[in-house]
Amino acid sequence: MKKAVFFDIDDTLLDTSNFAKSARKSAIRMMVDNGLPIPFDEAYSLLKEIISQKGSNYDKHFDVLTKTVLGEKNSMLIALGMITYHNIKFALLRPFPKTTDTLIYLKSKGYRLGVISNGLTIKQWEKLVRLNLHNFFDEVITSEEVGFEKPNKYIYDESLKRMDCEAENSIMIGNRLDTDCMGAINAGMSAILIDPQVTPEEIQRIEEDNLDIEIIKNISEIEDLL
Amino acid sequence: MKKAVFFDIDDTLLDTSNFAKSARKSAIRMMVDNGLPIPFDEAYSLLKEIISQKGSNYDKHFDVLTKTVLGEKNSMLIALGMITYHNIKFALLRPFPKTTDTLIYLKSKGYRLGVISNGLTIKQWEKLVRLNLHNFFDEVITSEEVGFEKPNKYIYDESLKRMDCEAENSIMIGNRLDTDCMGAINAGMSAILIDPQVTPEEIQRIEEDNLDIEIIKNISEIEDLL
């Protein structure tokens, strides 16, 4: 009998990738319309390149963008990009459909709930608090806090310790096989992979290695498993 | 054994009066700073008077305010007031502390939850959706929809019908004795009054008439009663 259920945040509880993409596109559109002297497609590709080089938690993507295009930073365009990015991101921020219902269901079944997330502590809490999801979770553990990222075993061990729960009674739920699920398996937990685009290779790997991982396409299917 | 729990929204689940007051003050400050030619205190008193005359759901308070002060409407000032009002209101909108925990608790105990609110349907849903509280409720009933306001018995009868629940198995929770609680009692339900400022007269009335109404100061005390 499972007692604790841990969730990933980004692309598991909410559609982070899609709202970040919309927010970046709107920001670039605004910067180009207000004087960044290259076409939209080129500017957007450049931004994606900068993000993949610097990482998504770097906070000066637009500085680098204007410096690359203009030879020097342009504060007006940077501010315009940042404001647009944040306005759009927060305007679109919602949990995936049925997420809150599923959390209510799990609480009503008596599970203790936690979050294990790779990311900056305050950024991850901000998402939970804005969506009013934070009350569901007994513990929120971030890689920044712990000093190790999923799939490192240490972040799961620390999470289990804080939750005062054994690995064999705990389950990790996330959208990434390699990080969320494999890390949990290596820490002795089981896992649920939520992935509408799971590949045949991934399914084969789970079956061949007889891994304790269930695959679902939608968070609401958790109700059939727990 | 109670099966259904109905909640009021404004000043029960969230601190509507306080955030509306802050938002109105900020809007008036902005209008005065940008050319409304009367002192802040006078403009704020005038706005309160207009609201009490026209009702809080009237949507042209600032139109009347500028017309009263200037002799004609001033679109710039009206727009400035409205934007400020909405920005501040949505910036401050949060449930009361422990509200979400209490709703989680009630769901985990198997209660069906509903809302019975005096107000405009979309305005009330907007608050629930912005706070991501809507998933907790099986039914949301507004006076606009039903055509009768609390404490009219009809809105409770209609709510019980939609929830498919008997009055004797249902309880109403709200911050107003005369509307939320007395209406529920007259419809055959019991009630919980959440009111840190309950008056001796109100307590006396409940005791003398032997009304099935519990008084609490904080929403989290519901856990001791249900």
* Interval A159-213: pLDDT, tens: 999 999 999 999 999 999 999 999 999 999 999 999 999 999 999 999 999 999 9
The residues near B58 (Cβ < 8 Å, ≥ 6 apart) are B51
pLDDT, position B167? 97
Instruction: Give, in degrees to the nearest 5, the angle at Cα A134 between A133 and A137.
Output: 105
How far apart (Å, rounded) are the C-alpha atoms in residues A56 and B85?
34
Set of chain A residues whose Cβ sits within 8 Å of the Cβ of B131: 132
Nearest to B135 among A101, A108, A135 (CB): A101
Q: Is A77 exposed, middle or buried (0-12, 13-18, 19+ CB in 10 A)?
A: buried
Alpha-carbon torsion (B90, A113, A204, A143), positive or negative: positive
Inter-chain touch B131–A132, beta carbons under 8 Å: yes
How far apart (Å, rounded) are the C-alpha atoms in residues A161 and A155?
10
Q: How many interface pairs between A and B have CB atoms less than 8 angstroms apart?
A: 27
Strand order through the sheet with B139-142: B139-142, B112-117, B4-7, B170-174, B190-194, B213-216
Taking the CA of residue A104 and the nearest CA in chain B, the distance in Å comes to: 6
pLDDT, position B91? 86
CB contact at 8 A, B135 and B110 = no
Inter-chain touch A100–B131, beta carbons under 8 Å: no
b/e map B97-135, b = 16+ CB within 10 Å: ebbbbbbbbbbbeebbbbbbbbbbeeebbebbebbbbeb
ipTM of the complex: 0.72
Per-residue pLDDT tens over the stretch A41-63:
999 999 999 999 999 889 899 99
Q: Report whether pLDDT(A91) > 90.
A: no
Q: Is A25 exposed, middle or buried (0-12, 13-18, 19+ CB in 10 A)?
A: middle
Set of chain B residues whose Cβ sits within 8 Å of the Cβ of A110: 108
How far apart (Å, rounded) are the C-alpha atoms in residues B101 and A134?
10
pLDDT, position B129? 87
pLDDT, position B76? 87
pLDDT, position A197? 93
Interface probe with A: pick from B135, B136, B138, most Cβ of A within 10 Å: B135
Residue of A nearest to B111 (CA): A108
pLDDT, position B1? 73
pLDDT, position B2? 80
Q: Which is higher by pLDDT, A89 or A65? A: A65
Q: Which residues of A touch B (CB under 8 A)?
A: 95, 100-101, 104, 107-108, 110, 131-133, 135-136
Inter-chain touch B110–A110, beta carbons under 8 Å: no
> What one-letter code names the amino acid at A47?
L
Nearest to B108 among A101, A107, A133 (CB): A107
- What residue ranges in chain A does DSSP mark as E strands? 4-7, 112-117, 139-142, 170-174, 190-194, 213-216
Q: Report whether pLDDT(A154) > 80.
A: yes
CB contact at 8 A, A185 and A191 = yes
Q: Residues of CATH 3.40.50.1000 domain(s) within chain B?
A: 4-15+95-225
pLDDT, position A49? 97
Instruction: Give, in degrees to the nearest 5, the angle at Cα A182 between A180 and A188.
Output: 105
Inter-chain touch A107–B110, beta carbons under 8 Å: no
Q: Is A146 exposed, middle or buried (0-12, 13-18, 19+ CB in 10 A)?
A: buried
Q: What is the pTM of this model?
A: 0.83
According to DSSP, the residues that pair with A6 across neighbouring strands are A114, A172
Please give the biggest Cα pair distance in chain A: 60
Determine the distance from the C-alpha atom of residue B147 to the mean position of all C-alpha atoms in its chain, rounded to a whole number. Answer: 17
pLDDT, position A181? 98
Inter-chain touch B104–A107, beta carbons under 8 Å: yes
Taking the CA of residue B72 and the nearest CA in chain A, the distance in Å comes to: 34
Question: What single-letter DSSP state applies at residue A221?
Answer: G
Inter-chain touch A107–B107, beta carbons under 8 Å: yes
Q: How confident is the model at residue A138 (pLDDT cuts 50, 70, 90)?
A: very high
CB contact at 8 A, A187 and A168 = no
Set of chain B residues whose Cβ sits within 8 Å of the Cβ of A136: 100, 104
Q: Which residues of B touch A (CB under 8 A)?
A: 95, 100-101, 104, 107-108, 110, 131-133, 135-136
> DSSP labels for A89-124?
HHHH--BPTTHHHHHHHHHHTT-EEEEEESS-HHHH
User: What pLDDT tens digit does each residue of chain B (226 aa) get?
Assistant: 789 999 999 999 999 999 899 999 999 999 999 999 999 999 999 999 999 999 988 989 999 999 999 999 999 899 899 989 998 988 888 899 999 999 999 999 999 999 999 999 988 998 998 899 999 999 999 999 999 999 999 999 999 999 999 999 999 999 999 999 999 999 999 999 999 999 999 999 999 999 999 999 999 999 999 9
Q: How confident is the model at residue A226 (pLDDT cuts 50, 70, 90)?
A: very high
Nearest to A95 among B100, B131, B132 (CB): B132
> DSSP labels for B160-187?
HHHHT--GGGEEEEES-IIIIIHHHHHT
The terminus-to-terminus CA distance of chain B in angstroms comes to 9
Per-residue pLDDT tens over the stretch A92-131:
888 999 999 999 999 999 999 999 999 999 889 989 988 9
Q: Which residue has the tokens 């005062």?
A: A164
pLDDT, position A90? 86
Q: Residues of CATH 1.10.150.520 domain(s) within chain A?
A: 16-92
Question: Is residue B3 helix, strand or coil?
Answer: coil
What is the CATH number assigned to the segment(s) B4-15+95-225?
3.40.50.1000
pLDDT, position B92? 87
Q: What are the phi and psi torsion angles at B119 (to 5°)?
A: 160, 180
Query: Does B16-92 carry CATH code 1.10.150.520?
Result: yes
Q: What are the phi and psi torsion angles at B139 (to 5°)?
A: -140, 140
Question: Is residue A162 helix, strand or coil?
Answer: helix
